Every structure is written in C-alpha cells, then in structure tokens.
Amino acid sequence: MPDSRRHDDTVTPGDAGRGAWKSKLGFILAASGSAIGLGNLVFFASNAYQFGGGAFYFPYLIALFVLGLPVMVLEFATGTMTRRSLPMALRRLVGARGEYVGWWSLSSALFITMYYITILGWALCMMVGALGGLFAPGATAPFTPFESPSEGPNATAYFFGLIVTYWPLLAVVTVWAATVWALSRGTETIERVVRVCVPLMWLFMIVLIIRGVTLPGGVDGVLFLFTPAVDGILDVSVWKGAFSQMFFSLSLGLGTMTAYASYLPKNADHVNNSLLVSFMNCGFEYLAGIAIFAMLFAFSLNPVGGTLSLSFFVIPQGIAAFPFWVKAFGFMFFLLVVLAGLTSAISLVEGMTSALVDKLRVSRAKALAMVATPGVIGSVMTALPFVVDPDLGGNGTFGLNLLDILDHWAFGYSLLTVGFLECLLLGWVLGASRLRAAINEHSKFQLGAWFDVQIKFVVPALLLTVIVLNLWTDLSNAFSGAAYGATYPLAWANWLPTVVPVVWLGGTLIVAYVFTNRPTPDEPEGVAVATKF
Ligand code: PHE
C-alpha cells in the first residue's frame, strides 16, 4: 500500500505508525458506520414521533445543511491537516485552549460510550431472546433465554424482566470485547469490520422497509412521517430536538470524525466526504423512519414512554404480529441495531484511543486499556440490575436510572457545547477564511465566503441558543426543587440526580485540565504549525 504521507514535508515524530485508510471506500464505510447507529434506529424515530412526524423532518433537514454539514467539514479538515485526534489537532491549530476543549469533549465521550454500549448490550440480549423467548407467548420476568413462557408475547415485560437479571452484564462485556478487538490494529481492523457490517446494515434495512411498507396500512405511517405540520415547525422545542439529534446522528462533537479523518491522505476532499457521509446517514435514518412508522400504523401501535420504548418494545410487538417468519425478522431487527451500534461504539472508542496515542506516545494496546477499563466499569454500572423502584418509576433499576440521568447531562450539553467552541476557535482564532482556503485547495466544490459566516456567526449563535434554552429549563427545574430524574422509594437513590451531573462535569473538567497541562515530548508547539498547511 503506498503511504501518501511519505512525500509530505510536514511529517513530525508523532505521525509514525498512526495508520492510514487503505482506500477512500474504507474511510467512507467507517465514517458512515460511525454516523449510522442507535441514533438512527432508536432515537430518530422516537424523536420524530414525539415531535409529530411531519413536523420534525423539515427542521431536521435544515439542521443538516445549516449545522451538520459545515461542522462535519470542519471536523474532517481538522483531523487531516494535523494528522492528530481532536485534542492535539486543536492544539496545533489554535493552541492550548483548543486542546482543553478536545479533552473535555473526549472525556464526555467516555461517559456517553459507557451507556451507549449498555444499550447495545440490551439489544444483544433481545437479539438472542428473539430466537428464544422474546416472541414466545407470555414472555415475562424473569428473563430466561431460550425458554418459552405461557401467555401472549409482550416485549415490554420481557425487557424489564431482562434488565433485572445479570445477563446484560455479560452482554456489555461482550460488546466491549468486540469493540476492543475491532480497534486492536487500528485502521486495519476497523476497515475489516466495517466492510462486513455496513453493507449488511443496509441490506437488513432494505428487507425491513419492504416488509414495513407492504403491510396493510403501512403506507399511512409513511405519509405521517412526510406530511408537513405547520404548528410543529413553529415550536421551539422541535428545533431544539432536531439540532441535538442531528449532531448526535452525524457523530459530531465527540472527536470521532476528527480521529477518522486523521488517517486520510492530505489531499482528501472534505466537502465531498462530508456530503457522502451525511447523506448516507440521513438517508438511512429516513429509511429507518419509514420502516418503523409503517409498522406503527399497520398495527396501530402507540409508543408511550421513553426513547427506548419504540425500538425495544413497540417494534418487537409489531414484528410479533407479522404473519410469518416472526423470529427471523425479530432476530434481524436486533442484529441490525447491534451492527449499527457496534460500528458507532468502535468510532467513539477510537476517538479517545488515538488521542491517547497522540498525546502520551503510548502503544495502541495501552491506550485501549486506558479507555476500556473505566469504560467497562461504567457500562457495567449502567447495566446493574438492582431495583430502586419496583413500580418502574424512573424505569426501575439502578442501571437504567443512572443511564437516563447521564444521558440527560452528558448528551444534552457536551456535543453542542463542543461544536460551539470548535466553531469559535477555528472560526475566530485560526480564522474561517484561512481554513476555508486550505479546504478548497483539495475540494471540487469550492466553499464560498458564506462558509465563513456560517462558522463564525450562524452555527455558534444557533448552538448557543439551544444550550442556553436547555440550561434555563434545567436550572429553573433545579431551583423549583425538581431536579432531573425521578423520586425513588429508596432514599439513597434520590442522590443520583445531583451526584451524576456533578461527577460528569467535575470529572470531565479535571481530565481536560490534567491532560492539557501534561507536556508531549517532541510535539511541535501550537499555533505555529498552523501556518504550514
Ligand atoms: N452517530 C451515532 C449514532 O447515531 C452515535 C455517535 C455519536 C457515535 C458521536 C460517535 C460519536 O448512533
């Protein structure tokens, strides 16, 4: 394989052995595999449903062009220009402040990875359960894979039966093991995994969509998803939801896209890559939406409850009503969730791993161990089966409560805040026009001056508005005594809604401080390097 870096005159000591994608296809598969994940299958449909179907897709499409695409171009360019993952990439471009933002982003990514993998672990259990008791009549607690209880199928009971057992712990450890294996040889093993998983995901999605829209009444669901609703478009919360969902879905703000782009040759076309990855992601998302809404309408299902309910309870219920091949379709649906989630988890962990390799100059194995050790502990904690509320208030178990609160804070603030800071630093400190000139050098589609306006003003203003609105809601709840989270019969569990955000915010700020202040031997210093591209 020719190494495109050999001929480059800006090679620095830390570049050696970082790895490189074998081909552009490898990169596109990996980046789209990162983008397509639980966000597309689990969260998009429930957001779209919650915000009224047709009311959601219009703001979502706007969010793609106004926010998603420019930030993706920015994150790709940052990685390729510096051949570094987010913290060191930002350090080279804008100095130590940038590195601080990078580590803060990655330490938040660690928290998000913890529960992301737990949800994947549950999906893995449901996948195994699909062959066993999930679609058997009367699937209820306790969870016993391959055993058939006696009454009508009930995925909700099955899921709550599942999470009060220790099986999910085994599942999360399995998912972590698979993730670590996939990263063991960097780009080489990642490429091997995505070459199999990503095409399979598309295939399963196509099968599901055909099944969905050919169900009697299925087309009504598709119409619901695509009929514009004017009231919703005027609702601020719909826009807030669309912006957050877009960031998460495109894997922005958590250092993953920068890490993946750092393995590209210097002449990569970032505009073209961003268009490809984001259109594949949003295309997949709409296809998933069509399949899921077709099923909802065909079987008159009503998704009530949290975000997980749609894919974990309602879809299996729909599949159980299929006239044939119920187990096969159920298995395939959860296998699809597992594959999509796995390729995203791999990218999340790679963002952190490569950052540690870049900063500490440690081996990949050591960096992986540094990420996976706290990661597995966190995933196990969010999968813990202890019941804190037998009435399922706040979802019942310790693990699910922890997950819910962590998701609210880590997910609710980190991605958008990082996006906001990236735009400020790159747009103002480095200079949007300078960055644009560097991107345009290798891009067929030339970005105009509008790109500068977008990066310097539009994107930060929109993101800041969403962050402030979210903060306003959370703070006014906190001051009125209603902290985020449920009230549990067990007194100690009531500390969770306070302890979790403090641990997350305190922990991430400390990690960012410690890493930023640690010198990296032979790394060229900060802003000066930026003049070279
Ligand atoms: N985009 C992924 C999804 O839709 C989640 C993700 C976010 C992955 C950020 C990596 C980084 O599920």
Q: Where are the domains of the chain?
A: 23-516
- 491 falls in which pLDDT band (50, 70, 90)? low
Separation of CA 249 and ligand 1 centre (Å): 5
Q: Is 245 in the pocket of ligand 1 (CB under 6 A)?
A: no
Determine if ligand 1 sits within 6 Å of the CB of residue 256: yes
| CA separation for the pair 340, 358 (Å, rounded) | 27
Query: Does 85 contact ligand 1 (Cβ within 6 A)?
Result: no
Ligand 1 pocket, 344 CB below 6 A? yes
Tell me, in angstroms, the distance from the centre of ligand 1 to residue 457's CA.
25
Quote the ligand 1 centre to 343 CA distance (angstroms): 9
Nearest residue (by CA) to ligand 1, atom 10, is 251
Q: Is 175 in the pocket of ligand 1 (CB under 6 A)?
A: no
Residue 506 — pLDDT band, cuts 50, 70, 90? very high
**What's the gap in Å between 345 CA and the centre of ligand 1?**
8
Give this prediction's pTM. Answer: 0.92
The rounded distance, in Å, linking the Cα atoms of 92 and 84 is 9
Task: Supply the pLDDT for residue 498.
Answer: 85
SS3 of 295-362: the string is: HHHHCCCCCCCCCHHHHHHHHHHHHHCCCCCHHHHHHHHHHHHHHHHHHHHHHHHHHHHHHHHHHHCC
Q: How far apart are CA 273 and CA 397, in angstroms?
A: 42
Distance in Å, CA 433 to ligand 1 centroid: 29
CB of 382 within 6 A of ligand 1: the answer is no
Residue 267 DSSP one-character state = T
Q: Transcribe 485-526 into DSSP letters.
A: S---SSGGGGGHHHHHHHHHHHHHHHHHHHHHTS--TTPPPT
Distance (angstroms) between ligand 1 centre and the Cα of 331 equals 23
Q: How many whole angstroms from 284 Cα to the centroid of ligand 1?
A: 14
Highest mean pLDDT among 34-43, 69-78, 218-227, 479-488: 69-78
Which atom of ligand 1 is nearest to 348's Cα? Answer: 10
Query: Binning pLDDT at 50, 70 and 90, where does residue 319 land?
Result: confident
Ligand 1 probe mutation, 105, 120, 251, most atoms within 8 A of CB: 251
Which is the CATH superfamily of the domain at 23-516? Amino acid/polyamine transporter I (1.20.1740.10)
- Ligand 1, atom 6, lies closest to the CA of 251
11 vs 474: CA distance, rounded Å: 47
* pLDDT value of position 6: 34
CB 42 within 8 A of CB 311: yes
How many A from CA of 321 to the centre of ligand 1? 31
Rounded to whole angstroms, the Cα distance separating 281 from 10 reads: 33
- Is the minimum distance from the CB of 281 to ligand 1 under 6 angstroms? no
Q: Got the DSSP string for 186-228? A: THHHHHHHHHHHHHHHHHHHHHHHHHHHTSTTHHHHHHHHHS-
Of the candidates 33, 26, 342, 348, the one whose C-alpha atom is nearest the C-alpha of residue 187 is 26
C-alpha torsion 408→411→412→418, nearest 10: 150
Please check the confidence at residue 232 and state whether its pLDDT lies above 60. Answer: yes
In this prediction, residue 473 carries a pLDDT of 87
CB of residue 37 inside a 6 A radius of ligand 1? yes
Distance (Å, rounded) from C-alpha 447 to C-alpha 23?
25
- The verdict on the CB of residue 352 being under 6 Å from ligand 1 is no
Q: Judge if the beta carbon of residue 248 lies within 6 A of ligand 1.
A: yes
* Chain segment 322-340, per-residue pLDDT in tens: 888 888 999 999 999 999 9
Model pLDDT for residues 357-390, shown as the tens digit of each residue: 999 999 999 999 999 999 999 999 999 988 876 6
Q: Is the CB of 249 under 6 A from ligand 1?
A: yes
Which residue did the predictor score with more confidence, 434 or 157? 434
Overall residue count recorded for the chain in this entry: 533
Share of the chain above pLDDT 70, in %: 87
Q: What is the pLDDT of residues 381-412, one digit of tens each?
A: 999 988 876 665 555 788 888 888 898 898 88
139 pLDDT more than 60: no
Identify the burial level of 442 via C-beta atoms within 10 angstroms of its C-beta, where 0-12 means exposed, 13-18 middle and 19 or more buried: middle
Q: Atom of ligand 1 at shortest distance to CA of 344? A: 8
Q: Is the CB of 105 under 6 A from ligand 1?
A: no
Gyration radius of the chain's alpha carbons = 23
Please tell me the distance between residue 209's alpha carbon and the centre of ligand 1 in angstroms. Answer: 22
